[in-house]
Amino acid sequence: MDVSIIIVNFNTCELTLNAIQSVFQSRTDYSYEIILIDNASTDGSVDRIRKEYPSVHLIVNRDNLGFSKANNQGIRAASGRYILLLNSDTVMQPETLDVMVRFMEDHPEVGAGGCKVVLPDGTLDRACRRGFPTPLASFYYAFGFSRLFPRHPRFNQYQLSYLDPDQDYPVDSLMGAFMLVRKETIDQVGQLDEDFFMYGEDIDWCYRIKHGGWHVYYYPYTTIIHYKRASSRNKPFKIIYEFHRAMLLFHNKHYKRKYAWWVNLLVYLGIGIKFVSAFLSSKLSLSQR
C-alpha cells in the first residue's frame, strides 16, 4: 500500500462524504486506502458512510477522543508507506494525491509535505504554511504587527505572508487539514502528541519532524478546498479554550526552558489576554443573534 488516508469525522456527515468522494475521484496509479475514525457523531455519519462507501476502513469511537488521538488510531491501523492526514471538511482535486506522492518520492529528505490550501472563496488558508510560534513571532502576530507590515519578514515570522504562496519552499509547519507524512518519519519521531485535543498538534508534529532531521515542505502546485472549522461551529467556548490551551502546551513543551522567566510570564499573560478577549467577543456575538 502506498498511501493511507486518515479522516477524522465528528458530525460533518455531508462534508465527510464529499471528502471521501474527492479521494475516490483521484487520478493516480498509487494505491491507497481510506481509514475513517468517527468520534461519536450523532448525525448519522457512521450509517451513511458504511452504506455509501463500504470499502472505507471505519473505526467508531464511543466518545469524542479529539483530533490527535483519533488520527493516531488511524496511523496504527495504516499499512501505507505514506500517511495523509486529511480533514473531513476538505475536497481534494483529482490530481492532488498523485502530485504530492510523486513529490515525496522524488525528495526522500522531505518528511512531511503539504499542498496549497484555499478557502471556499478562493483565498489562501494562511495556516497551510507557517513559521513556528516563538514568543517574538507570536507577539508580532497577536498584536497586529504582521497585518501592519505584511511584506516584512521580521514581522511575519508566523504566517509568512512575505512569501509567494504560488512558489514552493521549506517551511516550519504545515496544517493538519492536509499533511502527507512519510511512515519512516513517523517511526522515528513518533505519532501526534495526544495532549493536544484539536489544535496545535500539527505544529508540534512538524517541530519534532524538523528537529528529527527531516524537511517540512510547502508544495503549492495542487490545491484542496478547506471548509474551515465545520465540526466546531456549535461549540464556541470549547474551541476557544482548546485553541488557547494548545498555545500554552506548545510553549511549555518547546520554549519554556529556552527563555527567561520574565519572557515566559509575558507569554502566559498574552495567552490569557487573548483567551479572555476571544471569549468575551464570542459571548457578545452570540448575544446579538
DSSP calls for 116-177? EEE-TTS-B-GGGSB----HHHHHHHHTTHHHHSTT-GGGGTTT-TTS-TTS-EE-SB--TT
How far is it, in rounded angstroms, from Cα 145 to Cα 195? 30
d(CA 227, CA 19): 11
Statement to judge: residues 178 and 51 lie in one domain: yes
Pair 52, 145 in one domain: no
What confidence tens digit (pLDDT) does each residue in 57-100 have?
A: 999 999 999 999 999 999 999 999 999 999 999 999 999 999 99
Pair (110, 187) in one structural domain: yes
* Residue 185 burial (10 A CB sphere; 0-12, 13-18, 19+): buried
- Overall number of domains in the chain: 3
* pTM, rounded to two decimals: 0.94
Last residue of a domain, one of 226, 248, 266: 226
Mark whether 148 and 106 lie in a shared domain. no
266 shares a domain with 209: no
- Can you give the pLDDT at residue 235? 62
Distance of CA 222 to the CA centre of its chain: 17
Residues 11 and 125 in one domain: yes
The pLDDT value recorded for residue 288 is 59
Q: What angle do CA 214, 217, 218 make, to 5 degrees?
A: 170
| Residues 196, 90 within the same domain | yes
- Give CA separation, 65 vs 23, 26, 71, 198, 202, in Å: 24, 29, 10, 9, 16
Domain range enclosing 140? 133-162
- Secondary structure letter of residue 97 according to DSSP: H
**Is residue 231 assigned to a domain?**
no
Are 108 and 154 contained in the same domain?
no
Would 16 be classed as within a structural domain?
yes
| Under-50 pLDDT residues of the chain | none
Strands 82-86 and 57-61: unpaired
Place of cell 508566523: 158
Provide φ and ψ at 102, rounded to 5°: -60, -40
Specify whether 157 is located in the same domain as 169. no
CATH of the domain at 117: 3.90.550.10
216 & 118 share domain: yes
**Residue 116 placed within a domain:** yes
Check: CB of residue 117 under 8 Å from CB of residue 177.
yes
Q: Looking at the structure, do residues 118 and 257 belong to the same domain, yes or no? A: no
242 shares a domain with 125: no
The H or E element spanning position 34 is strand 32-39
Q: Is residue 65 part of a domain?
A: yes
Q: What is the pLDDT of residues 193-221, one digit of tens each?
A: 999 999 999 999 999 999 999 999 999 99
Report the distance separating Cα 240 and Cα 36, nearest Å.
26
